[in-house]
Amino acid sequence: RFKAQRETRDYQASDAAHHIHAFLDQKALNAEGPRVMVRGEGLYLWDNDGKRYLDGMSGLWCTNLGYGRQDLNAAAARQLEQLPYYNMFFHTTHPAVVELSEQLFELLPDHYSHALYTNSGSEANEVLIRTVRRYWQVVGKPGKRIMIGRWNGYHGSTLGSTALGGMQFMHEMGGMLPDFAHIDEPYWFAHGGELTPAEFGRRCALQLEEKILELGAENVAAFVAEPFQGAGGMIFPPESYWPEIQRICRQYDVLLCADEVIGGFGRTGEWFAHQHFGFQPDTLSIAKGLTSGYIPMGGLVLSKRIAEALVEQGGVFAHGLTYAGHPVAAAVAAANLRALRDEGIVERVKDETGPYLQRCLRELFGDHPLVGDIQGTGLVAALQFAEDKATRKRFDNESDIAWRCRTIGFEEGVIIRSTLGRVIMAPALVAGRTELDELLEKTKLAVDRTA
């Protein structure tokens, strides 16, 4: 009875009365009414009208193990019974967080040794900003304060993470701070002009060098970027980009910080996206796939060099979050990492399901009149819409073509996301061929109906 009540109740009116939704015009949303999701199993979601959707976005790039995992639920229940809360303040710790870290650092390259946990990706990046500045104070270079991010990069919605990100409409809503700077995104399709992707990748990376010289290397703390840009349109940099960025950071003693919030934990077929692109960051911001979204948790991973300075020379570290390393979140994260590892899920994305999705997308959309470019690796991909494929002319900013495609997708029972003239997909890493075939078929229907 309870279930039936939940599914038939009108949630939309109460939702409109009480909520400000993320990144939407509230009036427009209320006119249409949000879809009310009530249940999930595997890759599928059901709304309160009983309609079924294939979730091609893993929620918000996070439910990497899919919905309804009993092992994750059981881990949470066990921890709630045994010790629902304790913390890492004032000389205490607890087994759940210690066991999580043991597992995490087994997966990570030997370069990293310490983590600070948070509740979200935004918080991970807040912690990053202060930790990086503290590191430079400790090693005797307190002038190094400026954080360089990228235009159109996304690092979260809190104040520091918004300033670090390059979303101008977010900056305009009171989200900019001193000591933050930005360089261009490596988006060849849009900005590459006559350059080859390789030339363009190097050109974009050299902007970092120019910016460091303009600001003075003695003032620059870090360059922070997503290995591939997610919310800003799923931008995959040309291969020449990351090696050059790494060279520049080393040459000018600027920390290289990777935001792995969506790229981490198997999305590209490697455990972390920086491994796919072949560079070695000094810090990793993590969240989302850490717990497969079952419970909020994020963190900042530090290289041995940074951790050693903070531990050996740093004295009191003036920072703490009540819920950092929360036992229930840590238990779920540990169960999630165990499942990813023991079930060989990341390897399957690399060797089997990832190549399958990428090959099928190119076969289905390579000659499609609306699709100018297809990017992606592993289980993450973007279709770039183009008004003219030959000249790489995009639809203008006012066009809602990608949004329309995503809305038609909803009608067809598939959830894909639209962002800046692209539709993007990032299904759960447990997707098999049957689910990927359905994702491809329904996305094709949606794109065809949009054309």
- Residues in contact with ligand PLP by the rule CB under 6 A: 60, 120-122, 125, 154-156, 226, 230-231, 259, 261-262, 287, 298
Q: Helices 241-251 and 197-215 meet at what angle, rounded to 10?
A: 20
Nearer to ligand PLP (CB atom), residue 173 or residue 198: 173
Closest distance of CB 110 from ligand PLP, Å: 25
| CA–CA separation, 119 and 103 (whole Å) | 19
Residue of closest CB approach to ligand PLP: 121
Tell me the closest approach of the beta carbon of residue 388 to ligand PLP, in angstroms: 30
Whats the size of the chain, residue-wise? 451
Shortest Å, Cβ 370 to ligand PLP:
26
Instruction: Quote the CA–CA distance of 357 and 199 in Å, as a whole number.
Output: 28
**From the CB of residue 393, how many other CB atoms can be counted at a distance below 10 Å?**
11
SS (H, E, C) 259-284: ECCCCCCCCCCCCCHHHHHCCCCCEE
Nearer to ligand PLP, 384 or 419 (CB): 419
Complex with ligand PLP: residue 120 or 240, whichever CB lies closer: 120
Is residue 226 a contact partner of residue 259, using CB atoms and an 8 Å limit? yes
Longest Cα–Cα distance in the chain: 67
User: Least distance (Å) from ligand PLP to the CB of residue 184?
Assistant: 18
> Of 292 and 450, which CB lies nearer to ligand PLP in the complex structure?
292
CA distance 288 to 260: 9
| C-beta closer to ligand PLP: residue 238 or 298 | 298
Among residues 37, 45, 36, the alpha carbon closest in space to that of 11 is found at 36
Euclidean distance between CA atoms 96 and 329, whole angstroms: 9
Strand order across the beta sheet in which 422-425 lies: 371-377, 380-385, 422-425, 417-419
Pairing of strands 37-41, 112-118: unpaired
Residue 205 or 234: the one with the smaller Cβ distance to ligand PLP is: 234
Contact 428, 348 (CB under 8 A): no
Distance separating alpha carbons of residues 395 and 4, to the nearest angstrom: 44
Q: How far is the CB of 279 from ligand PLP (least distance, A)?
A: 16
Return the number of the residue (232 or 327) whose C-beta is nearest ligand PLP: 232
Lookup: tokens for 253 = 């003693």
With contact defined as beta carbons under 8 Å apart, do 188 and 238 qualify? yes
Q: How far apart are CA 233 and CA 381, in angstroms?
A: 10
CB of 378 to ligand PLP, least distance (A): 16
Q: In the complex, what is the shortest distance from the CB of residue 344 to ligand PLP, in angstroms, rounded to a whole number?
A: 26
121 vs 233, beta carbon nearer ligand PLP: 121
Of 118 and 240, the one with the shorter C-beta distance to ligand PLP is 118
Report how far residue 432's alpha carbon sits from residue 428's, in angstroms, rounded to the nearest whole number: 9
Q: What are phi and psi of 60, to 5 degrees?
A: -115, 65
Best CA proximity match to 427, nearest among 22, 57, 15, 33: 57
Distance in Å, CB of 284 to ligand PLP, minimum: 11
Nearest distance in Å: CB 329, ligand PLP: 12
Nearest-approach distance from CB 323 to ligand PLP, in angstroms: 13
* Closer Cβ to ligand PLP, 76 or 273, answer by number: 273
